[in-house]
Each structure stands twice: as structure tokens, then as C-alpha cells.
Amino acid sequence: MTSKAREGLIYGLVAYCWWGLVPLYFRLLREVPPTEILAHRIVWSMLFLVAALTRLRRWRAFAKCFRIPALFRVLILTSILIAANWFVYIFAVDRGLVVHASLGYFITPLVSVVLGMIFFQERLRPLQWLALVFAFAGTIVLVLSEDRFPWIALSLACSFSLYGLFRKKIPVDGLVGLSVETVLLVPLAAAYLVFLGWQEEHAFGVHSLAVDLLLLASGVVTAVPLLCFGQATQRLPLSTLGFLQYLSPSIQFLLALTVLGENLNTPRLVSFPLIWCGLAVFTFDSLRSYRRRVKSAAVVAIPNKER
């Protein structure tokens, strides 16, 4: 595994473990409507990103995105995709549908793997195909067991997998890309918060100091995992990134059943082990492939030293 791939793996693990625990944060904001939480996420994320751009001296790269039309158009699209993803997820947590949200993120890796094969000609090894079959089977069991059309799951899966695809296709790092996306969304978010204040329907400053602090922290809660995700997309194949994504919904799924009090039924008991079997097979294959490459590199290095 190259140093670039190792960095991508670390970034990916941080992002997906963080996202897995995010339902606990949103559960503390049950008194705040999802649309207002979304607006606060965008506005406070911008302040956090401004500080990051200044600290890392990335304003020149940020400005460059607005001068390249093709790049700017893609970032407009990704900003719409990520805003839609944020809203649907907040809505799901607010309505006590975290299992539905986790289903969406169980589907997302399958979509990411397929997109990687279509757009980047990524190829799967035999054991990776087996892992994909396990994961697909578990996901199908979850989808067919639900008593309603899984629009939350499908919306989350499509929006986030497409977001990852388009972000991978453009030469922009996580910080700069997220900053441009947030700038594009800030005017609407700020205008909505002003409107709520004018109508005296806002939650900020009304409920408690704890709620206000949580809303202020939404910038960090939102920006940090997305920054890590943006870095991971630049360093890892979509197929690898796709299977890492199972960490987040698995954590969400366990939280929904153990902490948030959602129901555990037989299909979920079947699907969860199937998906984790797929993840275990994929991990085993990745480690085996890495060891083979290390041994091959060592064999090549010995004759070179003898010369």
C-alpha cells in the first residue's frame, strides 16, 4: 500500500466513523426543525472553512475554482447533491428513521463500486466480487423487508454516491471543494435564517444554551468528515472507498437498535451479518493483496542492491 493510499485509508476511516456517530448529535437537536438545522450547518460550516482556508493559505486555489467554468459547473452540481443529502439525513433522524438512513448508506457503496467500474474502469478481483455479492444480498433483504417505498434510503444513496463520483473527477482537494460548495449554499441558508428570525419562528436563542451551542458546533460536525472524505476520494479507488462506506451505516444501524430504540426484526438480523461478511471478505482480500505487493517489491529490490 502506497503512502498516498495509507493517507486515504486514514481519512476514510475518520470520515465514516464520524458519520456513524452523527445521529447522536442530531438527536440532541430534536427541538429544531430539519430545515433550520440544515441552514445552520451551512452558515457555521462557512465560518469554519474560512478559518481553515486562511490558516492553510488556500485562498488562491479557492478563487481559481470560480475562474474555470467547467470546474465551477461541477461544483454547483456537487453543492446541490450534498445539500440534498444533508437535508434528507436530518429529516430521517428527526422522524426516528435512522435505520432507513443507514439502509441508504448500505446501498451507497454498491452504487460507488458500480460507478467506479463504469467511469474509472476499476476492476474487482474474484474475492472482491464475492464480497460484493454478500453486500448486495444483505442490502436486497433490507430493501424488500421494508413496508414502505425506501425513498429516504434511495435518496441518500444516489445523492452521496454521485457526489463522490463528481468530486473524484475534478482536481480539487477536500478543503477547497467543500469551501466553494458551501459558499454557493450560504446565501440561501442565511436568507432562510433571516426569514425565520423575521417571522419569530427560529430556534436559536429560544430553547436553551445547550441547543445554541450545538447549532454553533454544526459547522465543525459538518465540515470535518467532509474534508476527510474529499481527501479520501483523491487517494483511494472508488471500489475501496465504497466498501469503507459500510462502517458508517453499520455504526448508525447499531446505534438505532441499541441507543435510539428502533425495532430489530428478522430481515435486519439476516441482512446485517451478510453485509459484514462482505466487508470481512473485502478486507481480507485487500490485506492479502498488500502483502503480495510488499513481497514483490522486496524481491525486486534485492537484485537492484546487488548491482
C-alpha cell at 285: 482480500
Cα 177 to Cα 18: distance, rounded to the nearest angstrom? 20
Q: Is 127 left (phi over 0), alpha (psi -120 to 50) or beta?
A: alpha
Q: Helix and strand tally (H, E) in the chain? A: 13, 0
CB neighbours (10 Å) of residue 60? 9
The kind and range of the H/E element at 102 are: helix 98-119
Please check whether residue 178 is in contact with residue 223, taking contact to mean a CB–CB distance below 8 angstroms. yes
- So what's the pLDDT on residue 238? 63
- So what's the pLDDT on residue 54? 92
- Residues whose CB falls within 8 Å of the CB of residue 303, separated by 6 or more in sequence, listed in order: none
C-alpha cell at 168: 473524484
Mean pLDDT by 10 residues, the chain (307 residues): 75 88 84 85 88 89 91 92 88 81 76 77 80 81 73 86 85 84 92 84 74 85 81 74 76 80 70 77 72 67 57
Cα 139 to Cα 111: distance, rounded to the nearest angstrom? 12
Q: What is the pTM of this model?
A: 0.73
Please check whether residue 29 is in contact with residue 37, taking contact to mean a CB–CB distance below 8 angstroms. yes
- So what's the pLDDT on residue 298? 62
Cα 115 to Cα 117: distance, rounded to the nearest angstrom? 5
Cα 167 to Cα 240: distance, rounded to the nearest angstrom? 16
- So what's the pLDDT on residue 220? 85
Listed residue (289, 7, 304) closest to 126, CA to CA: 289
Q: Got the DSSP string for 69-95?
A: HHHHHHHHHHHHHHHHHHHHHHHHHHT
- So what's the pLDDT on residue 76? 94
HEC readout, 144-209: HHCCCCCHHHHHHHHHHHHHHHHHHHCCCCHHHHHHHHHHHHHHHHHHHHHHHHHHCCCCCCCCCH
